[in-house]
Every structure is written in C-alpha cells, then in structure tokens.
Chain A
Amino acid sequence: DAKTTQPPSMDCAEGRAANLPCNHSTISGNEYVYWYRQIHSQGPQYIIHGLKNNETNEMASLIITEDRKSSTLILPHATLRDTAVYYCIVRVAGGNKLVFGAGTILRVKS
C-alpha cells in the first residue's frame, strides 16, 4: 500500500476549520484514502474515505486532488473534543491491511 506523509502536528482555534493535509504521491488507481482519528487512550475512530471524488459526511469533508497525489481532511468547525491524532491511510480496494503511520497531532485551542 502507498506510503503517506503528514505533518507531525497542527494547531487550530476552536470554532475554526481544521485542514489536515496528506501526501500520497505513489497512490495507485485502485487505492482508497481513509482517515481515522485516535483520541488519547481510545481505539481509532473512522472518519471518512474516498477514491477520487470529494466526500462529505456528518463529521468531515475529504478533498482529493485531481491527480490523487494528495488530500485534505476538513473539520469545518473544530471543537476541543476534536483534539486527537489523525491518520491518513491508503488501502487498495479489497485489501485487508490498514498501515498506520505516525499521523498528525491536532490540538484545538480555545
């Protein structure tokens, strides 16, 4: 599965949009982009995933560039409870493994 690169940490003001970038320049045509987050001492929480179209759900939006080499997870109105480690993972369609990298520590501050 393709490797992803994320910034180690980011800060965001409460109530503002949090934009978390992810580079996956070696992504293949059949690989999906998944986003999970892990709040301290809990299991990861699924956020969103996509293949090439932008996606939105009740938690976030996922913007994937046209060449699919990068994506951005957008939390439209960050709250203090969104403070967590955010993981961007690419996985081949039908594949099993989710390979977790170091992720981005997002700190939402009041």
Chain B
Amino acid sequence: GAVVSQHPSWVICKSGTSVKIECRSLDFQATTMFWYRQFPKQSLMLMATSNEGSKATYEQGVEKDKFLINHASLTLSTLTVTSAHPEDSSFYICSARGEINQPQHFGDGTRLSIL
C-alpha cells in the first residue's frame, strides 16, 4: 500500500526556535500534500493544502508566516514552524495524495513539544 514517511517523529525544543518537519511519499508521486494539527483528545484539523510547485492554501485562522510550507517535489513537502512557542505544541500530521480521486495516505505524525 501507499506509504508516507514523516520525520522527525517527535521533537522537543526551546521557545523561539524554528522546527522543520518533512513529509515524503515513498512509493507514489504526491501531487497534493496536506498538513494537519491535532491537539489532545481532539480531531484532526486541516492547516493547509499544497500542490507541487505552487504556494500552499491555508485554512482560515492558520498563519502562513508562522507555518511555512514548501512542496518543491512530487515526493517531499516540508512544514516549518517558525519562532515556535508553547502554544504551538501539538501533533502535526501530513498526508499525501496521488491522482485526484485517490485516497489520502497519512504519515505517522510528529509530536512537537515547545518548552
């Protein structure tokens, strides 16, 4: 089945630092990738959608200058949380999709803790 790899799986860092999370589709070309955030005991919330080679589309309330998304190739998207603060601590999950009517496949998530 389709495999999406996300790295790192967890990260702890100090307030004010920037953190980059990578999302790779290992066995298919991902024309579209998605970034979600999940707080404890809540459901996944879509943050942004990115298509290869174009700017990401952010959901309402998500700061594009805070959460930088780059989707430079058909197999890699990155999310950079800039100047992270404790309230940015969350579980960040990416997903990727090939053809438009194919299902999205998810990575295993990155648990981000900002001290």
**B107 and A93 contacting across the interface, CB-CB below 8 Å:** no
The CA-CA distance from A59 to B43 in the complex, in Å, is 23
**A93 and B104 contacting across the interface, CB-CB below 8 Å:** no
**A43 and B6 contacting across the interface, CB-CB below 8 Å:** yes
The CA-CA distance from A41 to B111 in the complex, in Å, is 9
A97 contacts the other chain (Cβ, under 8 Å)? Answer: yes
- The stretch that binds B, out of A9-17, A20-28, A73-81, A99-107, is A99-107
A53 to chain B minimum Cβ distance, whole angstroms, is 15
CB neighbours of A94 from chain B (8 A): 100-101
CB neighbours of A46 from chain B (8 A): 1-2, 103-106
Closest B residue, CB atoms, query A44:
B106
Total number of B residues with any Cβ neighbor in A under 8 Å: 26
**B109 and A97 contacting across the interface, CB-CB below 8 Å:** no
Closest B residue, CB atoms, query A87:
B43
CB neighbours of A43 from chain B (8 A): 4, 6, 93-95, 106-109
**A98 and B109 contacting across the interface, CB-CB below 8 Å:** no
A103-B109 CB under 8 A given contacts A43-B6, A96-B32: no
Q: Mark B85-100, 1 if CB is under 8 A from A, else 0.
A: 0000001011100001
Q: Mark B25-64, 1 if CB is under 8 A from A, else 0.
A: 0000000101010000001111001000000000000000
The CA-CA distance from A30 to B103 in the complex, in Å, is 15
The CA-CA distance from A24 to B76 in the complex, in Å, is 34
The CA-CA distance from A101 to B100 in the complex, in Å, is 22
Measuring CB to CB, which residues of chain A are less than 8 angstroms from any residue of chain B? 32, 34, 36, 38, 41-46, 49, 87, 93-94, 96-103
CB-based closest 9 A-B pairs: A43-B106, A100-B44, A100-B43, A46-B103, A44-B106, A43-B109, A43-B93, A43-B108, A43-B107
| A–B pairs, 16, beta carbons within 8 Å | A36-B106, A43-B4, A43-B6, A43-B93, A43-B94, A43-B107, A44-B44, A44-B95, A44-B106, A46-B2, A46-B103, A46-B106, A94-B100, A96-B32, A96-B34, A98-B95
